[in-house]
Each structure stands twice: as structure tokens, then as C-alpha cells.
Structure 1
Amino acid sequence: MSRWHPLSTTVIACAALLVSGCATTTLQGRPVSVFSDPFSVAGMAATDGPTGLRDDAAAPSREVLGTDGSEIDELGVQAVSDVEEFWASAYGDAFGGEFTPVSEVHSWDSEEFDGAFCGSETFGLVNAGYCFDDETIGWDRGQLLPSLHSANGDMAVAMVLAHEYGHAVQHQADLVGPATPTLVGEQQADCLAGSYMRWVAEGNSPRFTLSTSEGLNNLLAAMIAFRDPLLNEDDPEAGADEHGSAFERVSAFQFGFTDGPASCAGIDSEEIEQRRGDLPVLLPGDETGELPVTEDSVRSVVDAMGTLFAPSDPPALTFDAVDCTDARMHPPVSYCPSSNTIVVDLPQLAEIGMPSEEDDGSGLASGDNTAYSILVSRYMQAVQREHGGVALDDAEAALRTACLTGVATAKMTDSVTTPDGNTIAITAGDVDEAVSGILLNGLVASDVNGDTVPSGFSRIDAFRVGVLGDADRCFKRFD
């Protein structure tokens, strides 16, 4: 049997370029410090700009075996060449020793009978991978790379090949062995790909550029698309060949982007288990995990927040429009500080909470918690109002709101019984739905006026801080 690390065991179809589903305004401002700057991405300015292959890109340093000379193969070999240039400079400092490139680079067309890769026939092999046996990398130019490129641009192709090259690096650096769980190897490779993308974003690549706003947001959308499918506990595939949820894979990518390649060695089973905590991975029985958004369910979620956070002055809830003197209302859910009222536009919220009919687990996650996380985030603004001493209408407030929503999400891993006897709890897939919403429209990570910050990376990072921390940490980090 040949051993290789594929991108996935199924045909990949990625999320489309991000289009905001709700109207939000991007906050503008000037930072106080690199550590508290809501307009930065891991210490870099969050800026728009060109993303993709440079017009003056350096020539590729590798040749592709089996190529048809297509533009997509040219993009693939440019990506591999660029990743190798990164590791030639970064490997020694991160892992010691000298970096050795892969032996060969292969391309095939999964729609034609034109050969084999790593002992597998390439017909129908809609995939990319690293082969342990002969230390080669290859990709499908027929379906995989074109679909990646169509959905998320040049850098999605570069990211996938950076991930596959991550398997080569972890193999060379002895980060993994025969007994290493697939989940660990995959998230290490996500992390290593993130460290390469930081190098590109910093302007070091002679072939690619990456903006830290929309460019990076689209990469995160692709990461979410690569999540594991949502399974039930009794599914025969449950627990096998795990790559990780969207939350986990985006987190691993962010570790590499923020802390560099050496940090990726710290991803092991214990670290993943700690990061996963009590977050559910599988759905019980034959449940869907979806709670339709209704007036009753909205009241139950608000009541659950009251039980968990026990404010001395709980916010009122209304489904009618209100005049607010100190905040701009922004459907589907708004919070008015002056009257301490959460205002819900139920039809709009219910629409956001509907699972996509086309959702096959390969695009952005959508479902009930895309909506409920927005509702919870407005309750978290009431929590901030009661806490006192913090503004509710600036960029720090936007990220603090996301952070506190993460805290609330983690708290709901244990069932919450409301005063009227209903039970509220998050299920498998809910966190991914929240992360997708944070990236897509930013409302969970918005201030009291519904304004968010430009970087989806920063918004998701703030949410993760809350999931893995507590309210005190949110108030200290985003003061």
C-alpha cells in the first residue's frame, strides 16, 4: 500500500468569493499599540490591495511532470516554487538542519486515463497530495485546481499546495510518525501553510501578493470549506480520517500565520483535545442539530443568556421597531443601550438561520447558529453595558463582543435549562456556523451600531479567544 496525504477523501468544491449577506459598515480608526490594534492582523496592518500571482512573478524553479502546459499548471508550479523558496529560508530556524525539496512535482487530469500518482490511478482522483513513498507532490488540473481557482482565486491554489508541502516539511522535520493521528498531521499542515501565507502577506514572495483584508478573508473561506463533514455518532465514518472542524482548521492556520512555523510543532493530540474542550464534534443519533428560528426559540436563547450571565438588569426583548437615542439600529438584531433593549427583526433573523439547500459541507457553514450567534452577540453588549467602563461604539467593542460571544458559545456546551423549562445547548456544527457568519457579514463581531472591523482574521481570532477563555480575558484583551 502506498501512503500519501490527500487534501480530502471527497471531491472538493470551495466556497465562493465572499459576498456580505447583511449590511455592515467597516470601522475606520487609528491604533493605540500593535498589541491592542483592532485594525491589524497579527501585528500587520489590515489593508486591501492586490492578491494573487504577480504580473512580474519570478520564473518557476521546478518542472511539472505530466503537465499539459495549461495556465492552471503554471499557477500550481509557481505555488510549489514559492513555497520551496519560503522553506529554504525558514526551515533551519524553525526545525534545524537544511531543507530538502520534494523529489518531483506531478500534474494529472482526473477526467482522463493518463497515469498514476503514489500508486493510485489518477482517473477520478480529484485531489492533491504529498506522497511519503517517493517524496513527491501532485495535483489534479482537471477539476480540483480549476474549482479552487474559480471559487477563491490564485491564493486558494497556493494555500492548498502549501498545505500539501506542509506534509513534506513535517515528514522531513520528524514532526509526525506512523502512529501520528491524521487529525494532528492535517492541522500541523494547516499551521505550516499559515506560516507561508504570513511570508507572502509581508511582501517577501517574488511570485504572489496577499492583502490582509479581503485577500486573507477569502483564504479563510477556503479553510472553512475544507472542514470535516458533519456526522452523527452512529455514522460508520465517525472519528475516521479526521481533518478537523472549520473552527479547528482556521485556528491552526492562524497559529502559523501569527506565531510562525516553529509553533506548528506544538500541535499534537493533547493540544487539539485542549483546544476542542467540550465542543461537540458529532451529532447525537439522527438529529440535524437545527433549531428553527421562531419567537419562542429567540426567547429561549435570551433566557439562557440570562441564566448563564445573570445580569442584575437583564435586557428587555422586543420584536417591534424602537427609536434608540444612542445607537443605530441594524437588523436582524440590534441592542439599544439607552433602553437596555434587544430588538429582533424575526423574519430577517429566521432567513439567516436557514441552512442552505445547496450546503453539502464544502462551502461556508450555514444554519441556525449563524442567526443565534448574532442574537447572543447583542446580549453580550448588554453584558458590557452592565460591566461598565467600556465603550460600546468602537472597534474594541466590536472585537470584545465577538470574544464574549465565544465565551457564551463555550458555556452552552452544557445544556442550559431556562425558567420556562426549555433546554438550550449548542450541537456539532454550531461553532462552524458562527465562524462562517463572523467571516461573511461580521455582525457577531460588530459594535452597538453594527459596525465591524475589516479583517475577518481578527474577528475570528477574537471569537476564538472567548471560546478558549472567559469574560475577564475578553475585557482585558479588548479594553
Structure 2
Amino acid sequence: MKRTGGRRARVMAVVASVALAGSLASACGEETAGRLQTAGDIAGLPVTHFESGLKPDAPAPDVTARGATSSEEDRLALAAIADVSDYWEQQLPEHFGLRFDPVKALLSYDPSEPEIEVCGATTADAAMNAFYCPPEDLVAWDRGMLLPLLRERFGPMAIVTVLGHEFGHAIQYRLGEKAGVDESTSTIVKEQQADCFTGSYFRWMAEGRSTYFTVSTSEGLNQVLASLFFIRDEAGQSAQERGAHGTAFDRTYAFQLGFEKGATECAGINQENVDARITEQPFDPSDQGGDVSITADTVSLLQESLDLAFSGAGVEAPEIVDDGGECADGTSTPPASYCPADNTVSIDLATLSEIGQPVDREAEFQGAESDGGLGDFAAFAEIASRYVQGIQKGVGASLEGPNAGLRTSCLVGAWAGAISRPGNGNTLLLSPGDLDEAIAELLQPRSLLAADVTGHRVANGFARVESLRLGYFEGSKACTTNYA
């Protein structure tokens, strides 16, 4: 986030009312254990919990790749290619009137081994990468560094995600004008389409139609979202740059679009609709890297921002107090807790300051423990998630259960949307990368952003991320409508 000049923030009033009925359950006087809850469905599919990955009875894939080994990474990659080929063999004739032609070549490489020339470069230049090469109609992947890191960090579905994405580029070139893709199409449009095609493929898999893989709509899709977060662009990159793939916020949007609406919707992604919603933007000179320290002073600015944003609710705003992050009389969710008894948000400023440290991207790519935090907006959003509990209590909304958790994330998204627009005198404004910091927080095991007042969070990251995005783009009214 960044601070603008002037003490007072004039944030748009994003909440006219939160017209929800319900009652606040009695306080338990204990710290929550962060229990998972199930919310509704996932784009019409039931919420499922099981180990995702290659089916035990999956056949040996009838595909070969140059350089492929007997490693688990290559086994998953080849099965993914066979599987996504099955998907498009069905989809292209059914929805686009085209015959599916398999890609001409596959390449598995280790960048530490002798160089192989491919697509005008060498495999040494393509470390930590997977790509589609149009002139050679080739899909290639780094089995030495990238795939092992993905599998270790996020599980087998991360590998399937990456290969599904690269195959999506091969499909773009087969569709041609049916996908609006030619030599002049920007990189960001191509990447958004490929992420969307990946989502449509995973929907097919989640429906049980895959011969090779099974994916749960909770933990399995969480692996996918975590891997998309990992391969996001650096904060401050411009969507207009050649090679731009999008922020995690943008990439998860495209994936979820494909999962919910299918491949034909993905083919309709173009420059106009990408420009209307893309959040990737460069830093401006006032951003100073996009991070502010989490201090008593900046928390005071946060209080002002939230008070103004939710002034339309017509209720007494909670007061944010630094007194340890726990409630003296009620359930606690440290490092930030909403305390209904005295309508305060108790915070542990020292812990939140650690969470607010900048993300260590180098550690992320090395697969090491990060010395950094999740970023300033992740810390502010945790506080905001407890603040909106007080707003919901004030209007009589239920504070417990899955819908309460998703409504909370949605309202935080509505606040983020309000402070994303410069020129209205806001003291706190979003900076590039802030929304990705919110995504990082949402994917944490003990996330508060989509948790109810007791800290119980919705099990599926898909629903959590979607609720934040809904509030960001559509405002608080959508939170009321969708999570009543």
C-alpha cells in the first residue's frame, strides 16, 4: 500500500447497508483452532475432500517426449499431456467445430545438463520454465528444477496446471481467429486465455471425466491456486510488457472463469475485456516499492479508511486497539480478533508487523523458508476482516458459519476496490502487488480473511479467492446478495 499526502482519507462509501438477518452466537471464551468449514458448492460441483493426483489405475500414456526420464515429474508430465489431449479431442469438435491434432513434439530437459537448442534458444536459458514453441509446435518443461519444486511445494496438481497452461497455448494456435489470436495479440491476452483454458480442463477433471487424474474441489484446487500464485508476475510489472502473464489476482480470475463457464468463454477473452479488469500495473514514483510499515500510525490511517468506507452502514464502527490480539471475554483469533462485548478489534501489532514485511521472492523460487512476510496489505486485510465483523454485527448479520466467512472476505474486497481508485484524496491507496498479498493470505492454513468471527475458515481456496474478487469488482451489495 502507499500513503498519500494529507491526514484524512476520503474513501468512497462502499457499504450502504448489509441487510442480513441473523444472531451472534454466544462467546466461547477460548482461542479458535482454525477449524475448516464447507461452503455451498464450487461452481455447481460438490465440495470434495480426497487426495488429488494420478489415479492408481491410470494407464501408461501413449505419448513420448525427447529427454524424458523415469522420474515422478516426467511421469506426471506425460500423463498430463495425454490427459489434456483427451480433453481437447472432445472439446474442439464439440464447441469449435475443429478436429484436434496432437502437438508435434514434446521435450523434457534439465537445464544443468548439456544444452539443447530449441525455439531459437537453449535449454540452459530456459531454467525454471515450461513453454510452448509455435514454430515447432512443441511443448517443453524443465524437469530438473521447475517441476520438482512445484511438486514438492504444492503437490502433483501443480505440474498438471503448468502443462495444461502450456497446452492451452497450443490450442490458441489451432483455434486461430476463433480465439482472436494472431501475431498482433498481446502477451497478456494469450496468457489469460491459457489460464482460462486450464480452468476449463480442470472442470472436466473435477467432473470425473479424466482417465488419468482425480482432483478434489477443496485441497486439489487449492494446489492449483497456490501454483498460480507462485508463477505470478513480479509486483510492478506492466500488463503492456511483452511477456506479461498477470498478477496472481488476474491469473486466478482467468482460471476460475474457465472452470465456471468453459472453453468457449475463454476463447472470447480479448484485449478490451482484459483491459477492463486487469490489475497488473507498474509502480508510480510515489509507490516507493509499494510497502509501508505496520505501525501505530499506519493502523490509525487504516481505522480512518475503514470508518469512511463503511460509514453508510449506519452502525457504530469498531475501534482498533493494540492490546495483544485477543478478547478478554470471547473467542480469540490472534493476531487480530473481533471482540463483540466491547465492539473492538484487538490486534497484536508486533506480529502483524512481521506479517506485513515484504515478500521474499528469491526465497520463494529457491523453495526455502522466506525471511519476509506476506506484505503490508496482507496484514491490513487481516485487521479489516475483523473490523467488518463489527459492521456485520451492527446490522444484525450472523457472524458464524461459512457464509459469514465468505461475506467477510467479500467486504474486505469491497474496501480494497474503494481504495484502488486514486484522485479522491485517499490517505491509503492500493499499490501494485497488494491484491496478490491478499491472495497469499487467503491461501494460508490459518487465514483470517475468509474466516468467521470464531476463526473457522472455508475449506476451499477457490471460494475464498472468488469472494474477495467479487467484492473488489462489484462492491458490498454483491456480498449481501451472494452470501446472505
Q: Please indicate, yes or no, whether the TM-score normalized by the shorter chain is above 0.5.
A: yes
In the alignment, which residue of structure 1 is the partner of 2:222? 217
In the alignment, which residue of structure 2 is the partner of 1:396? 403
Spell out, residue by residue over 1:74-104, the C-alpha distance to the aligned partner (whole angstroms, 9 max, x if none): 2211110111011111222332222221112
- Any residues of structure 2 matched to 1:153-232 within 5 Å, and which? 153-174=155-176, 175=179, 176-231=181-236
Cα gap change, 1:133 to 1:416, in 2 (>3 Å): closer
- Any residues of structure 2 matched to 1:282-361 within 5 Å, and which? 282-285=282-285, 287-310=288-311, 311-320=314-323, 323=327, 327-357=330-360, 359=362
**Any stretches of 5+ residues in structure 1 without a counterpart?**
1-21, 30-37
Once the two structures are TM-superposed, the CA of residue 178 in structure 1 deviates from its matched residue by 0.6
In the alignment, which residue of structure 2 is the partner of 1:50? 51
SS at match of 1:191: helix
SS at match of 1:444: coil
Once the two structures are TM-superposed, the CA of residue 374 in structure 1 deviates from its matched residue by 0.9
The residue identity in structure 2 corresponding to 1:404 is: L
Aligned-pair Cα RMSD in Å: 2.4
Alignment of 1:437 with 2:441, yes or no, is: yes
State the alpha-carbon separation in 2 of the partners of residues 23 and 370 from structure 1.
20
Spell out, residue by residue over 1:333-389, the C-alpha distance to the aligned partner (whole angstroms, 9 max, x if none): 11123422111121222222122446567589821111101111122222222333x
State the alpha-carbon separation in 2 of the partners of residues 447 and 168 from structure 1.
43
SS at match of 2:272: helix
**Which of the residues 381, 385, 394 maps onto 1:386?**
394
Spell out, residue by residue over 1:414-473, the C-alpha distance to the aligned partner (whole angstroms, 9 max, x if none): 35989xxx8211111111001110111331111111111100110000001001101111
Once the two structures are TM-superposed, the CA of residue 197 in structure 1 deviates from its matched residue by 1.4
State the alpha-carbon separation in 1 of the partners of residues 400 and 57 from structure 2.
43
With the length of structure 2 as denominator, give the TM-score of the two structures.
Answer: 0.85
Q: Which moved more, 1:191-200 or 1:38-47?
A: 38-47
SS at match of 1:130: strand
The residue identity in structure 2 corresponding to 1:352 is: I
Q: Which moved more, 1:98-107 or 1:458-467?
A: 98-107
Once the two structures are TM-superposed, the CA of residue 166 in structure 1 deviates from its matched residue by 0.2
Contact 2:315 2:395 in 1 (8 A): no
The residue identity in structure 1 corresponding to 2:227 is: A
Cα gap change, 1:23 to 1:227, in 2 (>3 Å): farther
In the alignment, which residue of structure 1 is the partner of 2:35? 26
The residue identity in structure 2 corresponding to 1:313 is: E
Spell out, residue by residue over 1:374-408, the C-alpha distance to the aligned partner (whole angstroms, 9 max, x if none): 111122222222333x2111211110011111000
Contact 1:280 1:427 in 2 (8 A): no
SS at match of 1:25: coil
Spell out, residue by residue over 1:12-66, the C-alpha distance to the aligned partner (whole angstroms, 9 max, x if none): xxxxxxxxxx97523446xxxxxxxx24222222222121112211110211123
SS at match of 2:235: coil
State the alpha-carbon separation in 2 of the partners of residues 360 and 249 from structure 1.
21
State the alpha-carbon separation in 1 of the partners of residues 69 and 421 from structure 2.
54
Cα gap change, 1:359 to 1:399, in 2 (>3 Å): farther
Cα gap change, 1:458 to 1:158, in 2 (>3 Å): same
The residue identity in structure 2 corresponding to 1:412 is: I
Quick one: higher RCO (CA 8 Å, sep 6+), 1 or 2? 2
Q: Which moved more, 1:74-83 or 1:159-168?
A: 74-83
Cα gap change, 1:59 to 1:453, in 2 (>3 Å): same
SS at match of 2:474: coil
Cα gap change, 1:280 to 1:50, in 2 (>3 Å): closer
State the alpha-carbon separation in 2 of the partners of residues 117 and 128 from structure 1.
12
State the alpha-carbon separation in 2 of the partners of residues 335 and 291 from structure 1.
24
SS at match of 2:67: coil
Spell out, residue by residue over 1:126-155, the C-alpha distance to the aligned partner (whole angstroms, 9 max, x if none): 222112112121222222222222222221
In the alignment, which residue of structure 2 is the partner of 1:89? 90
State the alpha-carbon separation in 1 of the partners of residues 124 and 83 from structure 2.
28
In the alignment, which residue of structure 2 is the partner of 1:475? 480
Cα gap change, 1:50 to 1:387, in 2 (>3 Å): same
The residue identity in structure 2 corresponding to 1:346 is: L
The residue identity in structure 2 corresponding to 1:251 is: Y
State the alpha-carbon separation in 2 of the partners of residues 405 and 120 from structure 1.
45
Spell out, residue by residue over 1:110-136, the C-alpha distance to the aligned partner (whole angstroms, 9 max, x if none): 112252222322234222211211212
State the alpha-carbon separation in 2 of the partners of residues 345 and 71 from structure 1.
44
Cα gap change, 1:366 to 1:307, in 2 (>3 Å): same
Contact 1:105 1:136 in 2 (8 A): yes
Cα gap change, 1:438 to 1:382, in 2 (>3 Å): same
State the alpha-carbon separation in 2 of the partners of residues 135 and 225 from structure 1.
26
Spell out, residue by residue over 1:198-229, the C-alpha distance to the aligned partner (whole angstroms, 9 max, x if none): 22222221111212222211211110111111
Cα gap change, 1:232 to 1:182, in 2 (>3 Å): closer
The residue identity in structure 1 corresponding to 2:353 is: A
Spell out, residue by residue over 1:289-338, the C-alpha distance to the aligned partner (whole angstroms, 9 max, x if none): 1111112211210111112221442222222267565x512111111234
Contact 1:24 1:443 in 2 (8 A): no
SS at match of 1:106: strand
With the length of structure 1 as denominator, give the TM-score of the two structures.
Answer: 0.86
Total equivalences in the alignment: 440
Q: Which moved more, 1:168-177 or 1:286-295?
A: 286-295
